[in-house]
Structure 1
Amino acid sequence: MPEGPEIRRAADTLADVLEGRTITSITFGLPRLRREASRLKGHKVVAIETRGKALLTHFEHGLSIYSHNQLYGVWKVIAGHTLPKSTRSMRLLLQTRDHSAILYSASDISVWPTAELVHHPFLAKIGPDIMDPCLGWRDVADRLGLPQFAAKELAALYLDQAFLAGNGNYLRSEILHDARLHHRQRPRELTRGELGKLARSTLTISRRSYDSGGITLAPRLSRSLQRQGLAREWRRFYVFGREDSPCYHCSHPIRRQEVGSRRLYFCPVCQGEH
């Protein structure tokens, strides 16, 4: 499933061709939504927003399209109106005079009055967007100390969208490794320094992934591995997907565990359980 950085990059691509432009044609692939097209056609898109793994397309007249990519959804943007051939099911098509934006495969789509989005069943229960540029490390540290989060194991907390929306499986492993913390630890067990380091790592890793298109390694290390001829998939992550490969910090083999039915990777030396 795409995580916060990927959703934000998709939103940026959509914003480039939709924001400030009038929708000349709109098609919903889901029968239950087809009547909504007439309410949106001919109106201007004023903003593309992300909230965690959800994407919101806001229109000038106070309506918004909510969409969630779920496991298999993907946005495509093309110049013109000739749609590419695809085996995927088209769920939403937004067209301006010059471009087409197509959402394939996702089924969690709805149209809402913008002012009522605070009552959306998903949006109402999620925490701050991990990609929100206004989110600071002290905000993350403060949330780590809240009673509903402080007693949770980090492995569970860093998939909890109520804690931070947009966090996900690869970010979880990479953030905890960068913070040098074991996934069984809980925020209430951490020192003030460890909490600060975890909060900073949370933003550093997620924003680095956004900036680089999915690479969480420090840029210098990633470039060094590239010069050695390693393919991109082997120079993306510190630990995620690198089971039995040497840790870049201590050379100990990376381990994998199934935690909450999701794979988690860590270095048992750098992230020893206290």
Structure 2
Amino acid sequence: MPEGHSVHRIARQFERNFVGRRVSASSPQGRFAEGAAVLNGHEAASVRAVGKQMFLEFEGDVWLRVHLGMYGAWDFAGEILVDPTIASANGRMGQTNQRGTVLEDTARAGIPIMDAAGENSLTSIGAPRRARVHVRMSEQTKGLADEGDEWPPPVVGQVRLRLMTDITCADLRGPTACELQTPDEVAQTIGKLGPDPLVDDPAEGEERFTRAVLRKPTPIGLLLMDQNVVSGIGNVYRAELLFRAGLDPHTPGRDVPEETVRAIWRDWSRLLRIGVETGQMMTMDDLSDDDWRKAMASRDDRHWVYHRAGLPCRVCGTAILLEEMGARKLYWCPVDQT
């Protein structure tokens, strides 16, 4: 499932390519035909991401709410105004399994960095540029082929919603939620979500998160995945945040020291920003330049405990444990997280 950094990156792409432009909307799959008809011909007015959900506003007080869920993805095609902070030189972007990355120190040379999984990792900062590209933004994407200059691009697969300007196309596939909402409904949806470090006032967000955790007997490993407690944290960030805090995942929230709860919020704020900027869930600190390059090129060098079941802890050497918590795999160190 896309974690918070991916959705914020997608929202940035809509900000640059759709907001302020009149949009044609259709549902090639047919499952969102009525909603597409309402959006068709209207101008996109604004976009915002909160946690794992994106809200795209259209003139006339109509909002599109999208939750990608486990398998959803946005595909972009056409002439795309690319923000180098969230996309690589060849235009492909997203969190995992994509090719053609440009690291900050190789951006001027345009050297692509790829790993065996085809993961994308980038920190190329600079002025936006236009590129004729076909890109995908999702969590799991492999073997995406460029579609050439055909316009509009052919519909491939089950496209729930196609949004198009005169030069840019965005296709939505496989979302958990795709629906229209009124402004009041958007406010209600967002009101039920926990704080997001990139949306809420940092101090207020920290207070909300701390209060929510300290009053609950639920294990902290479950609370961090509860989008009503905190927005955007998924399975990878959960494992890494708990390790970085030295916290047993089974500790009831109300038993976690308040200073630890606050430290987790601040750490999440930092890691989320790194994820938005780089496109990767980088959770290791104080790496040398060579180790940073290795981490950006390979997820195996990017995390402390995630996906390391049975391997020695990077700190103490104890085998990393794997168990199921909240119907998701949880990785943790029984020595360093006590």
TM-score (norm 1): 0.86
| Contact 1:141/1:199 (<8 A) preserved | no
| Contact 2:25/2:41 (<8 A) preserved | no
Report the equivalent of 1:50. 49
Report the equivalent of 2:245. 179
Report the equivalent of 1:125. 192
74-83 or 1-10: which moved more? 74-83
214-223 or 101-110: which moved more? 214-223
Residue deviations 1:235-267, cap 9 Å, x none?
A: 221111111223333333322121122111112
Report the equivalent of 1:15. 15
1:229–1:3 distance in 2 versus 1, CA, 3 Å: closer
TM-score (norm 2): 0.71
- How much does 1:224 deviate? 3.5
- How much does 1:58 deviate? 0.4
Instruction: Tell me the matched-pair count.
Output: 267
Name the amino acid aligned to 1:127: G
Of the three residues 153, 174, 180, the one matched with 1:111 is 180
Report the equivalent of 2:2. 2
Q: Distance in 2 between matches of 1:222 and 1:110?
A: 45
Aligned residues with identical type, % of pairs: 26
- How much does 1:127 deviate? 1.8
Q: Distance in 2 between matches of 1:146 and 1:195?
A: 10
Q: Distance in 2 between matches of 1:242 and 1:155?
A: 17
Report the equivalent of 2:170. 101
Residue deviations 1:25-61, cap 9 Å, x none?
A: 2112454532333432222111111122111110122
- How much does 1:154 deviate? 0.4
| Contact 1:69/1:108 (<8 A) preserved | yes
Q: How does 1:71-220 map onto structure 2 within 5 Å?
A: 71-79=70-78, 81-83=151-153, 86=156, 88-106=157-175, 108-120=177-189, 123-132=190-199, 134-136=200-202, 139-146=205-212, 149-218=215-284, 220=286
1 or 2 for the larger relative contact order (CA 8 Å, sep ≥6)? 2
63-72 or 195-204: which moved more? 195-204
Q: Distance in 1 between matches of 2:185 and 2:263?
A: 37
Provide the aligned C-alpha RMSD in A: 2.6
| Stretches of structure 2 lacking an aligned partner (at least 5 in a row) | 80-150
1:66–1:30 distance in 2 versus 1, CA, 3 Å: farther
Q: Distance in 1 between matches of 2:63 and 2:295?
A: 46
| Stretches of structure 1 lacking an aligned partner (at least 5 in a row) | none
| Contact 2:294/2:301 (<8 A) preserved | no
Q: Distance in 1 between matches of 2:58 and 2:276?
A: 26
| Contact 1:77/1:100 (<8 A) preserved | yes
Q: Distance in 2 between matches of 1:177 and 1:155?
A: 11
1 or 2, which has the higher helix percentage? 1
Q: Secondary structure at the residue paired with 1:145?
A: helix
Residue deviations 1:108-149, cap 9 Å, x none?
A: 2111223432345xx4532223542x4426633543234785
